[in-house]
């Protein structure tokens, strides 16, 4: 295998570049909060993610897609900062391989590759993704002066979702907005995610109906349970900014390949993801339900599109018959 730079060619995809641009502030914030290990982890993941796709296209006329960079960055941002490199490598190889390449490559994958990879290591190596968290680095320069922040041993000082599950306590909303909390690298700062969403919507890179329907489904379902008195259900507004809901809604659910193509199906798709997230968060073993909710939504996305098309065709046939 001759993996030299002259043999590597990338397919230019402007839409994917825009997604990468929107993720740069989150990467910088990750370094600021947790240290330079975030960048090191990102470099390692990008190398093995690109190499995995290259293995499949090296003897064909196809090129490595720039979409793989989106997969690599998103996957990295869903990891705790202290995730061992070998686990990250296994995750990204599995995600690119079984989440995309085995289905024929870019444009044919039914599931979000980044989430496929994360779900795989989440299930197989749960300790490293649910118990090992990093305390944000303090000071003016934050993590830019450190390799990695201090480890957090106590569950009651870890992530917003785990803190609520362990003690029922809730962190100040200001911490959730600015990101000065423990958690996965890219899921901590709600403000940066919201700014990225505005950019992606403005540039027509992400479907706004998907983003808003995920949020709506989450708020409605959590609101119903919260008002009904279920103690394990978070306040809807607090839950919106905790646990990666916004990150998943903006960057994962809007994946143009694994999400529905029709407007109506996107609405149903988003509402389904939002509602399932609440159920998994509140009544299942997993604190972060958005990952599994999106993968479930991916499963039904093609069916939703077909249902919408069938209904529209049926209506047209009736109009022609009655006209």
Closest to 89 in 3D by CA, of 47, 28, 137, 134: 47
Q: What is the pLDDT of residue 278?
A: 93
Domains, the chain, in order of start with CATH, read 10-301 (1.10.3430)
Q: CA distances (Å), 47 to each of 61, 98, 103, 216, in order?
A: 21, 17, 21, 37
Greatest Cα-to-Cα distance within the chain, rounded to the nearest angstrom:
73
What pLDDT, on the 0 to 100 scale, is given for residue 162?
A: 66
* pLDDT band (50, 70, 90) for residue 189: confident
Token duo for residue 8: 């590597």
User: CA nearest 34: which of 111, 113, 136, 171?
Assistant: 136
Instruction: Give the pLDDT band (50/70/90) at residue 105.
Output: confident
Q: Does residue 11 carry a pLDDT above 70?
A: yes
Q: Give the rounded percent of residues in the chain with a pLDDT score beyond 70.
A: 91
DSSP 170-207: ---HHHHHHT-S-SSTTSS-HHHHHHHHHHHHHTT-S-
pLDDT value for 27: 96
Closest CA to 206 of 241, 238, 247: 247
- CA–CA separation, 169 vs 162, rounded Å? 10
- Residue 235 above 90 pLDDT? no
Nearest-angstrom CA–CA distance, 188 and 27: 11
Q: Determine whether 245 is exposed, middle or buried from the number of CB atoms within 10 Å of its CB (0-12, 13-18, 19+).
A: buried
pLDDT value of residue 57:
87
Residue 76: closest CA among 112, 44, 109: 44
User: What value does the mean pLDDT take over residues 235-248?
Assistant: 87
The upper half-sphere exposure of residue 209, i.e. CA atoms within 13 Å in the direction of its Cβ, equals 12
What the block records as the tokens of 156 is 């009651």
What is the arithmetic mean of pLDDT over 91-115?
A: 93
Q: Which residues are CB-neighbours of 297 under 8 A, at least 6 positions away?
A: 253, 259, 269, 270, 272, 273, 276
**pLDDT tens digits for 117-166?**
999 999 999 888 887 888 888 888 888 999 998 887 655 556 676 666 66
Q: For 58-67, 126-135, 163-172, 221-230, which range has the lowest pLDDT when averaged over its residues?
A: 163-172
The angle formed by the CA atoms of residues 300, 76 and 101, to the nearest 5 degrees, is 50
pLDDT confidence tier of residue 169, bands split at 50, 70 and 90 = low
Q: 253 by DSSP, 3-state: which? A: coil
State the DSSP code for 111: S
Question: In the predicted model, is pLDDT for residue 7 greater than 60?
Answer: no
| C-alpha to C-alpha distance for 224 and 92, rounded to whole angstroms | 37
Q: Name the residue among 40, 54, 95, 27 with its Cα closest to residue 291.
A: 95
Mean pLDDT of all residues in the chain? 88
Three-class secondary structure of residue 46 per DSSP = helix
User: Which residues have CB under 8 Å from 79's CB, separation 6+?
Assistant: 41, 88, 91, 118, 129, 184, 185
pLDDT band at 1 (very low <50, low <70, confident <90, very high): very low
**Least confident piece of the model among 11-15, 136-140, 156-160, 188-192:** 156-160
What pLDDT sits at residue 47? 96
CA 162-196-24 angle, 5° bins: 85
**Residue whose C-alpha is closest to residue 22's, from 174, 187, 203:** 203
> pLDDT at residue 288 above 80?
no
Find the radius of gyration of the CA atoms of the chain: 20
Which tokens is 2 given?
Answer: 């001759």
């Amino acid at each position: 295998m001759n993996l030299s730079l002259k043999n590597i060619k990338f397919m230019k995809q402007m839409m994917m570049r825009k997604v990468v641009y929107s993720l740069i502030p989150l990467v910088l914030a990750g370094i600021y909060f947790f240290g330079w290990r975030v960048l090191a982890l990102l470099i390692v993941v990008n190398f093995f993610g690109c190499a995995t796709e290259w293995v499949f296209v090296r003897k064909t006329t196809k090129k490595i897609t720039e979409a793989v960079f989106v997969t690599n960055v998103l996957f990295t941002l869903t990891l705790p900062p202290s995730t061992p490199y070998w686990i990250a490598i296994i995750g990204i190889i599995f995600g690119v391989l079984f989440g995309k390449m085995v289905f024929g490559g870019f444009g044919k994958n039914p599931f979000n590759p980044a989430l496929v990879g994360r779900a795989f290591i989440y299930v197989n190596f749960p300790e490293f993704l649910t118990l090992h968290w990093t305390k944000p680095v303090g000071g003016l320069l934050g993590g830019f002066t450190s390799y990695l922040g201090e480890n957090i041993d106590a569950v009651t000082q870890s992530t917003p979702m785990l803190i609520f599950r362990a003690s029922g306590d809730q962190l100040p909303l200001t911490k959730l907005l600015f990101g000065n909390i423990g958690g996965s690298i890219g899921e901590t700062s709600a403000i940066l995610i919201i700014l990225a969403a505005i950019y992606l919507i403005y540039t027509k890179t992400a479907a706004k109906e998907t983003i808003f329907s995920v949020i709506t489904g989450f708020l409605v379902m959590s609101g119903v349970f919260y008002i009904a008195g279920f103690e394990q259900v978070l306040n809807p507004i607090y839950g919106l900014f905790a646990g990666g809901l916004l990150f998943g809604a903006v960057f994962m659910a809007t994946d143009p390949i694994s999400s529905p193509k029709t407007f109506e199906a996107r609405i149903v798709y988003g509402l389904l993801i939002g509602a399932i997230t609440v159920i998994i968060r509140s009544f299942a073993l997993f604190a972060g339900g958005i990952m599994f909710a999106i993968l479930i939504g991916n499963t039904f996305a093609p069916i939703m599109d077909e249902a919408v098309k069938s209904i529209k065709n049926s209506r047209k046939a009736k109009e022609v018959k009655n006209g």
